[in-house]
């Protein structure tokens, strides 16, 4: 798999994470579309570490953020 700038560690963590987590789904879409973590973090107003946590399934976005994430996934075609 071409990891497009994402470390192999985060790609593997995302692949192994629970796909029922909206943060993991966001990670899959961003990895697939090569959207930089810094851009995602800025858009959501959180740190890059928070985004990595969501992508790996180690952390979950707050409920208020889920609607915004769903809108992004819809726009990316990965909902």
Q: Where are the domains of the chain?
A: 8-74
Rounded to a whole number of angstroms, the distance between the first and last alpha carbons of the chain is 22
pTM of the model: 0.89
Name 69's Cβ contacts closer than 8 Å, sequence gap at least 6.
22, 23, 25, 26, 44, 61
Tokens of 77: 């075609």
Q: What is the pLDDT of residues 15-68, one digit of tens each?
A: 999 999 999 999 999 999 999 999 999 999 999 999 999 999 999 999 999 999
C-alpha torsion sign, points 43, 46, 48, 49: negative
Q: Which phi and psi angles does 32 have, rounded to 5°? A: -60, -40
């Amino acid at each position: 798999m071409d990891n497009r700038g994402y470390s192999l560690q985060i790609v593997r963590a995302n692949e192994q994470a629970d796909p029922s987590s909206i943060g993991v789904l966001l990670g899959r879409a961003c990895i697939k579309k090569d959207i930089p973590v810094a851009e995602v973090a800025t858009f959501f107003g959180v740190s890059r570490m928070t985004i990595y946590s969501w992508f790996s399934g180690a952390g979950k976005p707050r409920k208020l953020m889920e609607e915004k994430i769903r809108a992004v996934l819809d726009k990316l075609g990965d909902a």
